[in-house]
Structures are given as structure tokens and as C-alpha cells.
Amino acid sequence: MEAHRDSDQEAIDLGRVLINPLSVSEVQSMFAWLPKATEVLGKRFSAAVVAERDSMRRFLQSSVIVYGLLLATTSRLNAATLWSIYWTSAWMPCGDGVMLLSSPPHRLTNGTLVSIAQRVSNDSSPWGQKLPITIIGYSIIHEVRGEKGQQTWMMVGSASGGPGADVFAMTAGQGNSSSSLMFPPGIGLPHDGKHPDAHIDVYGSCPGGGEQRGLVAIFYTSP
């Protein structure tokens, strides 16, 4: 019986050692370095991330500058001369789809009235010399005198017997309106100035009554 009690006591003592070999304060002291180490590692990691980010930003900024310089240099080397055709039509009566004529009016070879006929122009520009041109943009204004707030529109088209769109510019609104556009690089409307009836027409609409006129600038290169 006495021997049995001794063995039980030994087992209890061994369990105490296994379950609680160290006190709480001893364990805390062993791992006291962990928060500080974590903080130091975090700062080093953050510093590395910031440095990498700054390096990447500087690289991207340098790349953009170099690309811009190359693009500007290429544009200068490949730049074509920009020309323009500009005129103001006479004041015309309002109506739905009225041709806006220049003053004095231009006519085709068969006598048909048009807004401007290339054969009538006579200056040193490619348009005036009846050379082929490529339309690449426009700026147009439609002026209306008459009923306030009426719905209006104006459109511009090219006719020369060549390929491409007819109408290439339009504006609309209540009363006066305007529109401007330069076509994307590589896009243009061929206009064959060698055609005897090459011309540009402008139509305006103001059904509420009054008068209207068009102020037109067409930008082009040659060819």
C-alpha cells in the first residue's frame, strides 16, 4: 500500500513539471524581443517598397520625356504644310436645307450654283492652283438671325469625283452653333482639284424664319 502511494506522488510531481515548466513572467521575458524585431523588419520592408516605387516613378517619368522628345522630333521631320480654305457666305433666307452661296455666287461649268467652286479660285495656294488636296479638318460657324430658340443645322460637303465621304462637317443647335475638328493622323478626305467641277457645298437650315450664313474654314494638305 505504501509503495503505491509513493508512485502516485511521483506521477503528480512529474505532471507539474511537464505542465508548468516555466512561469508566465519567464516566458514573457524569453519573447520580449519579438515586437521590437517585428517593428524593425516592418520599417526595413516599407523603406524597400518606397525606394522601389520611387525608382519606378523616375523610370516612367524619364521614359515619357524621351518618348515625347522622339515624337516631337519625328513630327517635325514628317510635318506637312497646313493650308486652309476660308470664306463667309452671303446672308441667305432661312429655310430647310438652303445652299449658302458666296458673294458673288460661284458656278460650275454647266452654270449650277455652288458654295465655292475650285476653278473660280486663283491664288498661290494648292486650292487656288487647282491641285489635288487632302482635307484633314474644319472649323465652321452657323449664324442665324430670326426666331429665337429655333432648331438649326449646317453641313459642309466636298465633291470632286474622287473617293471618300461627301459630307464631312456638321453643326447643329438652337440658333447659332459651331463645330471644329482635326481628323486623326493618317485620316483625310482626297479632293481632286483637277476635276473641272471640283467644289465645296454648304447647306444651312433654320425653318423658323429669318436669315442665315456660314463662316467656314477647311484645313488641308497637298496632296
Containing domain of residue 13, as a range? 1-79
Query: What per-residue confidence (pLDDT) applies to 162?
Result: 76
Q: Are residues 74 and 112 in the same domain?
A: no
Q: Are residues 92 and 66 in the same domain?
A: no
pTM reported for the whole predicted model: 0.65
pLDDT band for position 167 (cuts 50, 70, 90): very high
Burial of 98 (0-12, 13-18, 19+ CB in 10 A): middle
CA distance 16 to 53: 55
Query: Looking at residue 198, which CATH number applies to its domain?
Result: 2.60.120
Q: Are residues 30 and 99 in the same domain?
A: no
Query: What per-residue confidence (pLDDT) applies to 164?
Result: 78
Q: Are residues 132 and 189 in the same domain?
A: yes
Query: What per-residue confidence (pLDDT) applies to 171?
Result: 98
52/100: higher pLDDT: 100
Contact predicate 136/187, CB 8 Å = yes
Cell digits of residue 22:
516555466
Report pLDDT digits (tens) over 6-32. 555 554 454 444 444 555 565 556 556
**φ, ψ for residue 213 (rounded to 5)?**
-155, 160
